[in-house]
Amino acid sequence: MIRSVIIDDEANGIKTLTNQLATHCPDVEILGTADGVENGKYILEKYRPDLVFLDIRMQDGTGFDLLTSLPAIPFHVVFTTAYDEYAIKAIRFHALDYLLKPINPDELIEAMKRAAETPVPSDNLKNNLQVAKQLLREERVEKIALPNHNGIELVSLKDIIRCQADNYYTIFYLIHARKIMVSRTLKEFDELLSPENFLRVHQSHLINLAHANRYSREDGGTIVMSDDCCVPISRRKKEIVMEVLERMTR
């Protein structure tokens, strides 16, 4: 049995999630609910749950405010939020679990499976949340959280030279010849990073335009990066790549 609490300032949201859990996730027990940050702190201390369903924007603060105020986070967190571009960006950039309201039952079931199968997040989750909280406030991105075998590493976007697909994994090539392999697809990172000056130039390659040194016509067209790697441009992507490069020279 997974012992849980719900923290949400919308009574209807609490009621709906309670009903969905009863119907689709009978192994999840709801110990209590709270309608904001301060009451949320109280029920967390009272019940010490395994899992917390946490709204992001509430009347007396954000879910990030609540979590970063705690001395430790010895439980799983699943954020629940209505569509909010910056809230979702903060969550996705920092490898946090979330459900978008109205909550899809299949996604709820999958989230509960992940919670049951994965260990409680490590201590560095607090640092991760601090950065996510800043992003939510400032509506800009400077770092991305990359899960690794030790936990989560926060990487500055300016330090990423390029990303390369490796089946269902993505390899991040960073400055100082560092590499990080992440068990998420390149498509996911393309969606996250394309608005942040990154460009998909090939099915297997995503580049940081800030690290693009020059274009070469060799081998059908390549981008030479700051690490001297020649990244191929696919035939399908060539037109849009050339348009972007031309805009950069104006």
Mean pLDDT of 152-157: 86
**pLDDT per residue over 27-50, tens digit each?**
999 999 999 999 999 999 999 999
pLDDT score for 3: 96
Mean pLDDT of 110-120: 84
Q: Please, what are the domains in the chain?
A: 2-138 (3.40.50.2300), 143-248 (2.40.50.1020)
When the pLDDT of each residue in the chain is averaged and rounded to a whole number, the result is 87
3-state SS, the chain, equals CEEEEEECCCHHHHHHHHHHHHHHCCCEEEEEEECCHHHHHHHHHHHCCCEEEEECEECCEEHHHHHHCCCCCCCEEEEEECCCHHHHHHHHHCCCEEEECCCCHHHHHHHHHHHHHCCCCCCCHHHHHHHHHHHHHHCCCCEEEEEECCEEEEEEHHHEEEEEEECCEEEEEEHHHCEEEECCCHHHHHHHHHHHCEEEEECCEEEEHHHEEEEECHHHCEEEECCCCEEECCCCCHHHHHHHHHHHCC
**pLDDT per residue over 186-203, tens digit each?**
998 998 888 788 999 999
- Is the model's pLDDT at 92 over the cut of 90? no
